[in-house]
Amino acid sequence: MRKANILFLVGLCLGALVALVLEVAEPARHVVTALGPTPIAAAGAESPTDSVPSDTPSPTSSGKTTPGRSSSTPGAAKAGKTGTQAQALAALVPRGHVSAVIYDRTKGTTVLSVNADRAYTSASLVKLMIAVSALENGTPAGVVKEMLARSDDTTASTLWVANGETEIVESAVQRMGLTETRPPASPGRWGDTEITANDITKIYQYLFTKAPTGERTIILAALHGATEFGADGFRQYFGLPDALGPGKFGVKQGWSCCRPTRMLHTSGVVGTGGRFIVTVLTEQPQSVGYNTASAQITSVVKNLLPLLKQ
């Protein structure tokens, strides 16, 4: 009996000791949990320490951050800003996808890169590649300007066939250093060319830095002369034109539906001498109409306007 009592007392002591250890350890466990994802910095333009001068936008910036990782390096601060900007832009296209790149030609820096390597079908943005190929092969300047300014599909189809169809894209990939662009699987469907915001930005960089002066002058004149309505009657002043106002842009727009989704893209040059190259790509489900999609991509560009006033 005495032996049983001793064992009982020992058991009580051990139980109390275990309870005390658990009580002390519990706050420490919550502290570790509270140190999970690093708070994201406020959105804004890159500071000089975050910028890396380059002739091309960064091909790896996707707007994603790694939860739970913290660092005091400038790169981590940049990732935080990009993450916040990505969230802000995504909220403006709640049922779809959005990618954006802003490149400052004066400073040689990428001001913004959000989901820049996500693939989209090009719609009419491929006409930039068609224009370069057509001019090199002697197509009259007026024909190319008409195709670009009014986004004329009939002219684009004629020039696409005349200049080698998918060879146009393959040639652009080589000469412009495009790393994420693919020709359409069906050669006759030029609007299905696969592009990214990174690579569209590189096309504009090519125009400014490597294209012959004559070609550059013709293409940029066409972009600055973009009409409010395309050749098919679609209003193409969504995005950059509506956000910036008359006379403050040179643009190439893109729109298409429905294989199986709706694409709406705005791209072009902004500022004195075309200082900023801006590319915004969006993809929406068919159930989001063109009017809503147009308003949303315009809201995205308006959100980015502070970055164009540096």
Q: How far is CA 152 from CA 29, 139, 167, 214, 302, in A?
A: 63, 15, 20, 22, 27
Based on the structure, what is the number of domains in the chain? 1
pLDDT in tens, 34-54: 222 222 222 222 222 222 222
115: amino acid identity, one letter? N
**CATH code: domain of residue 214:** 3.40.710.10
- Mean of per-residue pLDDT scores for the chain: 81
Higher pLDDT, 78 or 20: 78
210 within 8 A of 220, measured Cβ to Cβ = no
Rounded distance between C-alpha atoms, residue 300 and residue 57, angstroms? 20
Can you tell me whether residue 183 is helix, strand or coil? coil
Average pLDDT over residues 267-294: 97
Q: Is residue 189 pLDDT above 60, yes or no?
A: yes
Is the pLDDT higher at 34 or at 284?
284
| H or E, element range at 256 | strand 250-256
196 with 180: CB under 8 angstroms?
yes
More confident residue, 310 or 183: 183
pLDDT band at 31 (very low <50, low <70, confident <90, very high): very low
Neighbours of 147 (CB within 10 A): 25
pLDDT at 310: 65
Residues 265-279 have a mean pLDDT of: 97
pLDDT at 12 exceeding the cut of 90: no
Is pTM, for the whole model, over 0.95?
no
Q: Is residue 144 part of a domain?
A: yes
Supply φ then ψ for residue 296, to 5 degrees: -70, -45
Residue 49 lies in a domain: no
User: For the ranges 60-69, 143-152, 199-208, which has the lowest average pLDDT?
Assistant: 60-69
Does a structural domain hold residue 125? yes
Give me the pLDDT at residue 95, please: 97
Helix residue ranges, H only, the chain: 2-34, 74-92, 127-136, 141-149, 153-162, 166-176, 197-209, 213-224, 240-244, 290-304
Which carries the bigger pLDDT value, residue 69 or residue 248? 248
Cα(146)–Cα(129) distance, rounded to whole angstroms? 15
**Containing structural domain, residue 156:** 78-308
pLDDT reading at 19 higher than 90: no
Between 19-28, 55-64, 132-141, 265-274, the lowest mean confidence (pLDDT) is in 55-64
Say yes or no to pLDDT of 227 above 90. Answer: yes
- 39/11 Cα distance (integer angstroms): 46
Cβ neighbours of residue 11 closer than 8 Å, sequence gap 6 or more: none
Residue 28 located in a structural domain: no
- What is the amino acid identity at position 213? T
| Residues in Cβ contact with 172 at an 8 Å cutoff, skipping those fewer than 6 apart | 129, 132, 133, 178, 181, 203
Higher-confidence residue: 275 or 65? 275
Is residue 177's pLDDT more than 90?
A: yes
For residue 109, tell me if it sits in a domain: yes
Q: What is the pLDDT of residues 155-170, one digit of tens each?
A: 999 999 999 999 999 9
Radius of gyration of the chain (CA): 27
Query: Looking at the domain assignment, is residue 179 inside a domain?
Result: yes
Least confident range from 23-37, 89-103, 106-120, 274-288: namely 23-37
Q: 241 lies in a domain?
A: yes
Asked if residue 32 belongs to a domain, the reply is no
Give 229's strand partners. 235
Three-state DSSP state, 6: helix
HSE-up (13 A, CA, CB side) for residue 177: 15
Whether 99 contacts 116, CB under 8 Å:
yes
**pLDDT value for 75:** 35
Q: What is residue 60's three-state secondary structure?
A: coil
* Residue 52 neighbours by CB distance under 10 Å: 13
> Coil, strand, or helix at residue 56?
coil
CA atoms within 13 A on the CB side of 303: 22
Q: What is the pLDDT of residue 37?
A: 26
> pLDDT-based confidence at 211, cuts 50/70/90?
very high
